[in-house]
Structure 1
Amino acid sequence: MSDVDVKELDRLLQQAFDTASKLYQERGFQRRVGFGKRPALISVDLANAWTRPGNPFTCDQEKMDNEIIPGMQKLLKAFRAAQLPVVHVTTAYEITDRNADFTDMGLWHNKIPIDVVNLKDTDLWAIDSRIAPIDGEYTLLKKRASAFHGTELAGILRANNVDTILVTGVTACACVRQTICDGLADGFRTIAVKEAIGDRVPGAVAWNLFDIDAKFGDVETVDTCVSYLDSLAAQKIAAE
């Protein structure tokens, strides 16, 4: 799509959101879940197959390079300063033969080309080097859209007294959204970090963030989240 087309799509979406917001608010939607006392950062699929060009899963490169990665860098700096949990989530499969009698891909390969993300090709599912994990941060390998589905994530978060998850990554319409929905269902305060969420399809981010904010979590800016994290770090220093 051209820049003109994208701008027109954004205009039409905003018009639809304004109308829908009136209906939602009249019916008691768009409530605030709020920040809790101990957050974790859940970064979904910001691995090379999604963040770099040349892959079927590659997301909007302009947004990735100019918004998502810089936003993640700000968040990581704040989380690390506050010594709070960070989980980097990625996706890969061990048996990628679509004709195999048994595979860890389930049936998802019948819809999307997950067979290209082979566990043996470590560079594909490695977290982007610009936001690479450091010692003390956890990398979680998932097989499904949600970072919670069939993984140890909820247990790890509860064991570390986490009550809030700040979710970033790709894609807004699938893995990020499913992670947020499952996070709320599992009892965590869910925050979608606006500038640090992307997709491949124009309009998908805006629509999904609007819908998430109405039903499943709070959409907050990177700056708002960083201010919240900085306040937690200051409280910790004061307590010491």
Structure 2
Amino acid sequence: MDQLDDGKLEKMLRAAFEASTRIYQERGFQRRIGFGRRPALVSVDLANAWTRPGNPFTCDQQVMDAEIIPGMQKLLAACRANGHPVIHVTTAYEITDRDAPFTDMGLWHCKIPIEVVSMADTELWAIDSRIAPVDGEHTLLKKRASAFHGTPLAGILRAAGVDTILVTGVTATACVRTTICDGLAEGFRTIAVRDCIGDRVPGAVAWNLYDIDAKFADVHSADECAAYLETVDGARAAAE
């Protein structure tokens, strides 16, 4: 979209948010869940198929390079310096033949081109090298939108004493949103990191984060989340 269209879209979204806020607040929405005592960073699908150009799943490259990756680097530094758990989540499939009688794609390929993310091409589903996992961090492979659906994520977090998840990644409309919704359903305090969440479609991030903030998570900036990670004594809380 050109600058004029971007301006029109922003104006329309602002008007929609103002009208929706009145309705939400009158009806008791937009409450705060707050940060807990033992956080973990859950990074959703910041793998090369989403973060680099040339794939059907590629997200907005300007936002990815200027905001999401630098924001993630800041969060990772805070987690690593203070001993907070980090889980990198990615997506790939073993059987990508859409005509196969049995496939780990389920029926999702009937809606979106998940067959392009083949486990045979490890570079596609590898976490972006700019935010690559280090020793002590976990990489989790999922098959569906939510990082919780059909995975051991909830158990991994509970075993570490985690009560708060900071969710980043792509996309705001799908895998990030469903992960946040399921995270709250699993009993975790959910925090969406505003400038570390992306999408392919203009306006999708702003609208989804606005709506998520009203119903499923608190939305905070990467700076606010990094400050929390630097000050909360998660290691002591986990030991108690």
TM-score, length-normalised on structure 2? Answer: 0.97
Alignment of 1:193-232 (within 5 A): 193-232=193-232
2:173 is aligned with what amino acid?
Answer: C
1:118 and 2:118 matched: yes
Shift, 1:22, TM fit: 1.2
- Deviation sequence 1:22-57 (CA, Å, 0-9, x none): 110111000000000000000000000000000000
- Over residues 146-173 of structure 1, what are the superposed CA-to-partner deviations in whole Å (9 max), with x where a residue is unaligned? 0000000000000110000000000000
SS of equivalent residue, structure 2 residue 232: helix
Classify the secondary structure of the residue corresponding to 2:96: coil
Equivalence for 1:156: 156
Separation in 1, partners of 2:234, 2:94 = 44
Q: Tell me the residue number matched to 2:134.
A: 134
- Partner residue of 1:55? 55
User: What is the identity, as a one-letter code, of the residue corresponding to 1:147?
Assistant: A
* Pairs aligned (count): 237
Aligned residues of 2:37 and 2:233 also touching (Cα < 8 A): no
Q: Which residue of 2 aligns with 1:19?
A: 19
Are 2:71 and 2:195, in contact at CA under 8 Å, matched by a contact in 1? yes
Offset of 1:233 from its aligned partner? 5.0
**1:235 shift after superposition:** 9.0
Give the equivalent residue in structure 2 for 1:187. Answer: 187
Go from structure 1 to structure 2 and tell me whether the alpha carbon gap of 1:13 and 1:81 turns closer, same or farther (over 3 Å shift): same
Does the CA-based 8 Å contact 2:84-2:235 persist in structure 1? no
Deviation at 1:226, TM superposition (A): 0.9
Which aligned pairs between 1:17-96 and structure 2 lie closer than 5 A?
Answer: 17-96=17-96
Separation in structure 1 between the aligned mates of residue 151 and residue 203 of structure 2, nearest angstrom: 30
Instruction: Please tell me whether the aligned partners of residues 81 and 233 of structure 1 are also in contact (alpha carbons under 8 angstroms).
Output: no
SS in 2 for 1:22: helix
Output the TM-score relative to the length of structure 1.
0.97
Contact 1:38/1:164 (8 A) holds in 2: yes
Which whole-Å CA distance do the structure 1 matches of 2:223 and 2:232 have between them?
14
**Cα-to-partner distance string for 1:92-147 (whole Å, 9 max, x where unaligned):** 00000000010000000010000000001000000000000000000000000000
**Counterpart of 2:178 in 1: which secondary structure?**
helix
Q: Which runs of 5+ in 2 are unaligned?
A: none
Instruction: In structure 1, give the amino acid aligned to 2:159.
Output: A
1:10 partner SS:
helix
Aligned 8 A contact 2:167 2:191 in 1: yes
**SS of structure 2 residue aligned to 1:219:** strand
Q: Which runs of 5+ in 1 are unaligned?
A: none
Cα distance in 1 between the residues matched to 2:235 and 2:123: 39
% identical aligned pairs: 73
Q: Partner of 2:87: helix, strand, or coil?
A: strand
How far residue 234 of structure 1 moved from its aligned partner, in angstroms, is 9.8
Secondary structure of 1:157's counterpart equals: helix
- The alpha-carbon deviation at position 11 of structure 1 amounts to 1.4
CA distance in 2, matches of 1:6, 1:150: 38
Partner of 2:4: 4
CA RMSD, Structure 1 to Structure 2 (Å): 1.3
